[in-house]
């Protein structure tokens, strides 16, 4: 096995051009396989599915899901290489199902934390008023940060409490906006944006100090600053406001299809992750309120 692993790593370097860190990781994964073969008193590479299934069952109790996925990737490449080299006559890794990627539940903010964040910007200043309007908008609509920075004045239909959002793949959707968020966007346009555009009339709704389009990085940096200022210790990104919006809609009884449409998800399975968060909330409320919870 030592020679086979060495040949494989050389192949990864010379022909595949994989990074050294990836080569080292694959070598360690195969060393674990080699050690398991030794413990099982196997002297040749298994060519049947069952021994490999046993190995991965053993590894599932030892490794994190991400490490398991990488280990299987290493084994798949290793076995394909061994088959091409004529070391084995069959590739049992083709019969091993790929591990399902772990799906991490997204971070969300509670209603109280949202209130703390929204009250953080200094609305007496144009930039603070802009930031308040941005956060109100994102929390009220679930818009992606890319959709916010690219938002144009012609897409605002504030008297109707609607925004024409252009999402991924240039797909358009009409998104409702709350009365409160509408008022903040209107206030920013009237009192903040006019001071920032310096007499010009750009199409972009949200601009920086120089009157140019605000960037995604700019919103992310500002959000981090406010989060730290109000003492919220969660790992918050602009997407957290989108997650919080969707979760709280579902917790308050919104239909999953409606939430999918508002968020602009092409596949409802993407939206369904928020039902897990909502179910967690239901369980939490149950255990807190039931006398024998």
Give tens-digit pLDDT for 156-204. Answer: 999 999 999 998 778 899 999 999 999 999 999 999 999 999 888 899 9
| Rounded Cα gap, residues 78 and 175, in angstroms | 49
What does the block give as tokens for 191? 């009192």
| Rounded Cα gap, residues 137 and 131, in angstroms | 10
DSSP string covering 56-96: HHHHHTTS-HHHHHHHHHHHHHHHHHHHHTTS-S--GGGGS
Q: Which pLDDT belongs to residue 31?
A: 93
Angle at which helices 126-141 and 179-187 cross, to 10°? 150
Strands (E), 156-215: 156-157, 162-166, 172-176
Q: How buried is 37 (Cβ within 10 angstroms: 0-12 exposed, 13-18 middle, 19+ buried)?
A: middle
Q: Which pLDDT belongs to residue 37?
A: 92
CATH code that applies to domain 2-95? 1.10.150.130
Each domain of the chain, given as residue ranges in start order, spans 2-95, 111-289
Q: Which pLDDT belongs to residue 67?
A: 84
Q: How buried is 130 (Cβ within 10 angstroms: 0-12 exposed, 13-18 middle, 19+ buried)?
A: buried
| Rounded Cα gap, residues 210 and 97, in angstroms | 54
Which residues are 165's β-sheet partners?
173
Q: Which pLDDT belongs to residue 293?
A: 54
Q: Do 233 and 167 touch, CB atoms closer than 8 A?
A: no
**Residues contacting 151, CB < 8 A, separation 6+:** 143, 163, 165, 204, 205, 206
Residues marked active site are found at 144, 168, 239, 242, 265, 274
Q: Which pLDDT belongs to residue 16?
A: 72
Q: Which pLDDT belongs to residue 135?
A: 97
| Rounded Cα gap, residues 26 and 29, in angstroms | 5
What contacts 24+ positions apart, CB below 8 Å, involve 99-103? Answer: 99/65, 99/68, 99/69, 99/72, 101/65, 101/69, 102/65, 102/66, 103/273
Write out residues in the chain with pLDDT < 50, as ranges.
none
Q: Which pLDDT belongs to residue 78?
A: 95
What does the block give as tokens for 2? 């030592």
Q: Which pLDDT belongs to residue 270?
A: 76
Q: Which pLDDT belongs to residue 286?
A: 57
| Rounded Cα gap, residues 41 and 51, in angstroms | 12
For domain 111-289, the CATH class is: mainly alpha
What contacts 24+ positions apart, CB below 8 Å, involve 165-174? Answer: 165/141, 165/264, 167/264, 168/264, 168/266, 171/264, 173/261, 173/262, 173/264
| Rounded Cα gap, residues 289 and 283, in angstroms | 10
């Amino acid at each position: 096995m030592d020679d086979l692993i060495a040949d494989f790593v050389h192949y990864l370097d010379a022909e595949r051009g994989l990074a050294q860190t990836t080569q080292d990781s694959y070598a360690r994964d195969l060393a674990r396989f080699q050690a398991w073969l030794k413990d099982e008193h196997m002297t040749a590479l298994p060519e049947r599915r069952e021994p490999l299934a046993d190995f991965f069952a053993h590894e599932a109790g030892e490794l994190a899901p991400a490490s398991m996925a990488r280990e299987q990737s290493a084994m798949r490449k290793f076995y394909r290489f061994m088959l091409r080299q004529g070391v084995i006559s069959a590739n049992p890794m083709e019969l091993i199902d790929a591990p399902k990627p772990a799906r991490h539940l997204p971070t969300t903010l509670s209603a109280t934390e949202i209130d703390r964040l929204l009250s953080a910007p200094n609305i007496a200043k144009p930039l603070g008023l802009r930031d308040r309007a941005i956060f109100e908008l994102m929390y009220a609509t679930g818009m992606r940060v890319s959709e916010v920075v690219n938002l144009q004045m012609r897409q605002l239909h504030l008297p109707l409490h609607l925004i024409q959002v252009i999402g991924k793949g240039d797909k358009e959707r009409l998104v409702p906006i709350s009365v409160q968020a509408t008022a903040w966007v209107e206030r920013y346009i009237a009192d903040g944006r006019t001071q920032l555009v310096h007499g010009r009339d750009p199409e972009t709704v949200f601009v920086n100090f120089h009157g140019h389009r605000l960037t995604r990085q700019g919103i992310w940096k500002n959000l981090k600053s406010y989060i730290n200022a109000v003492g919220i210790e969660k790992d918050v990104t602009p997407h957290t406001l989108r997650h919080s919006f969707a979760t709280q809609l579902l917790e308050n009884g919104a239909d999953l299809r409606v939430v999918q449409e508002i968020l602009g998800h092409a596949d409802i399975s993407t939206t369904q992750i928020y039902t897990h968060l909502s179910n967690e909330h239901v369980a939490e409320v149950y255990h807190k309120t039931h006398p024998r919870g």
